[in-house]
Amino acid sequence: MAEFTLELNDDQKQVRDWLHGFAADVIRPAASEWDEREETPWPVIQEAAKVGIYSLDFYAQQFFDPTGLGIPMAMEELFWGDAGIALSIVGTGLAAVGVLANGTEEQIGTWIPQMYGDADDVKVAAFCSSEPDAGSDVASMRTRAVYDRAKDEWVLNGTKTWATNGGIANVHVVVAVVDPGLGSKGHASFIVPPNTPGLSQGQKFKKHGIRASHTAEVVLEDVRVPGHCLLGGKEKLDQRLARARERAATGGERVKNAAMATFEASRPAVGAMAVGTARAAYEVALDYAKTRTQFGRPIIDNQGVAFQLADMRTRIDAARLLVWRASWMATTGKPFESAEGSMSKLYASETAKKVTAQAVQILGGNGFTREYPVERMHRDAAIYTIFEGTSEIQRLVIARTLSGMPIR
């Protein structure tokens, strides 16, 4: 088991510097353009594919880093470059992780390469879980999957929303209800192959921030997928449903908590994204405060500005430490007995909102214009307290974990 450390090793530093260079040289110069266009930055994704960043191999290497710091380090650097473009680069990973976590070896080998394509013909994938009436409340999901035994096909009907790459993806991974009586335990995940009839893009959202990342509804109307597109297979699903039915009668709350633990493990990565955006805004504000003069001296000479910058840096470092702790715990199998995953996501996301707002304030009128990047960073930061569980949900998870009470 790797010991917890605050010092990156030489290999990690090399990867960090490589990512930072790509973020500085490729992502940042393109950030404003693609934010204005509100379109998927295909040329940037292609550049990421050419150098090996947009690939399953790269993310697998970071995921299996025994210290647990590979993924948060990578996310921080890419999102330091720009949140919208970075999400376009890493968004396919959501679907890939869904297949890796639940699929068979054959499914992993078949579908994940099709999610990424190659440097000459890049593809993206979409993970479709949220619905118009089922965001934080996953038990309210309505998209249904019904098994047609005669044809060995699953028939999917419903509408998904807030899907990154939804409708433009080569491969969609769709979570659907197969047993409504089991709540979230009655869900299963399905691969929807390219060009499957019945799947279409619904509304494309025009967003406040992360506008270079495509977000849309996905509509499923009698979408038929072969039986082998059920992640994990029918036999494994039947066994899992049988266990869930048995536990629901005798220990339903225990099942619910086990599911919550799975969500907990994914949240530090979002925290790392937030740290990257906060750090970027802080650095712009610091440089500006050193060079902007008022009343004959740099504005950083004023305590009102200097103390803000001190607080900003302190919050960023504290957020990173919480993210790294949770990432290390998840990798080494240590239980989140105090909801450390939610703690890291909560604090980092709130830090990103606060720090970017302070950066806008330090830049004054300039910070309110699109001539300076902190305006965009402030808009982007708003998403971190919303997706992967709102700040309110994080606080609820933490409070329930600490108290052992069913807090509502």
Catalytic residue among 36, 76, 388, 392: 388
Q: Cα separations (Å) of 159 from 115, 131, 310, 319?
A: 21, 6, 46, 35
140-150 burial, b if ≥16 CB within 10 A, otherwise e? ebebebebeee
Cα–Cα distance between 322 and 342 in angstroms, integer?
10
* Helix pair angle (234-291, 303-332), 10° resolution: 160
- Residue in the structure block whose two tokens are 């010092």: 7
* C-alpha–C-alpha distance, residues 93 and 141, integer Å: 23
Per the annotation, the verdict on 105 as an active-site residue is no
Rounded Cα gap, residues 351 and 337, in angstroms: 23
Residue whose token pair is 């947009």: 54
- The two beta strands, 171-177 and 153-164, are unpaired
Q: Which of 385, 289, 272 is nearest to 327 (CA)?
A: 272
Contact yes or no for 95/115 (Cβ under 8 A): yes
* Cβ atoms of 325 and 317 closer than 8 Å: no
Q: Is 211 helix (H, G, I), strand (E, B) or coil?
A: coil
Q: How many CA atoms lie within 13 A of 129 on its CB side?
A: 17
DSSP state of 9: -
Would you please indicate which residues are annotated as catalytic (active-site) residues? 388
